[in-house]
Copies of this chain bind each other. A is one copy, B any other.
Amino acid sequence: MTFKERLRQVQRERNSLLCIGLDPVIDKIPPHMQKTGEPIVAFNKHIIDSTSDIVCAYKFNLAFYETHGPAGIEALEESLEAAPSDVLLIGDGKRNDIGNSAEHYADMLFEGLEFDAVTVNPYMGTDSVEPFIRYPEKGAFILALTSNPGAKDFQKLKVGNYYLYEKVVQRAKKWNTRDNVGLVVGATYPHELAAIRKRAPDMPILLPGVGAQGGDLKKSVEHGCSKKKDLLLINVGRSVIYANNVRDTALELQTLINTYRNQMN
């Protein structure tokens, strides 16, 4: 199965486009989990146990683990083991390097940590991306238009008749010979999301920026879903993982997303 087929399957089975971002900050983890001696693992296991039947994926931003040194990587490894095997695990490292170095990153992420997908920064071009797209069953989400304010500095520069992020989308489509390349598009740009979906009707889109960053959920669903009402992964982090009732908050989101999804023509 290609990565896209795997994504379609889990989204259908769970009836969910929801992806939860497991980016724990130690200070925000409840005291009783702090006492376990492995607060990050305890916290992640709690979120996973509460939500794994209603999400299609979990996204782990590597920055939140690497900042703790070797112990952080161990906590990441343990957290990954807690997830059911059919939910997709995304290693959000935004890595990129020249070919022979990128191979080491790909090896770490896909072989070592066994992620099902990763995020990749496109700035260094084809040979820097190639090591991440060699595995048909594993996905590579290319940063196209990110959710942060700085996205405008380069991504929205005009290259001829196109914005730079559109050139990235064009290139990502060429890289997608194995049906395993996706795009990262921020929910903070709904208009651009619609245009990108039109240009890439059949590629997975990983969408951060809903929740704490202020992206509109309804527009995200309407503009981001493929015609089959799937292939969109709506990532929500802080507003779910620190909620008083994690499961209720995630369920509410799943339901809301599916309501908007069902309203689509």
Interface residues of A (CB under 8 A from B): 23, 61, 63-64, 66-67, 69-71, 73-74, 77, 94-99, 101-102, 104-105, 107-108, 112, 121-129, 143, 146-155, 157-160, 164, 167-168, 171
Contacts of A150 in B (CB 8 A): 98, 124-129
Considering the chains assembled together, what is the distance between the CA atoms of A42 and B64 in angstroms? 30
Considering the chains assembled together, what is the distance between the CA atoms of A154 and B146 in angstroms? 16
Q: Assess whether A112 is in contact with B67, with CB atoms less than 8 Å apart.
A: yes
Q: Assess whether B66 is in contact with A122, with CB atoms less than 8 Å apart.
A: no
Q: How many copies does the complex hold?
A: 2
Partner of A157, one of B63, B94, B98, B159: B159
Partner of A71, one of B61, B66, B70, B155: B70
Q: Assess whether A63 is in contact with B164, with CB atoms less than 8 Å apart.
A: no
Q: Assess whether A69 is in contact with B73, with CB atoms less than 8 Å apart.
A: yes
Q: Enumerate 26 A-B pairs (CB-CB under 8 Å) in ascending A order.
A: A23-B101, A63-B104, A63-B105, A63-B108, A66-B66, A67-B104, A70-B73, A70-B74, A70-B77, A73-B73, A94-B95, A94-B97, A94-B121, A96-B121, A123-B146, A123-B154, A124-B148, A124-B155, A125-B154, A125-B155, A126-B153, A128-B150, A129-B150, A153-B171, A154-B168, A159-B164
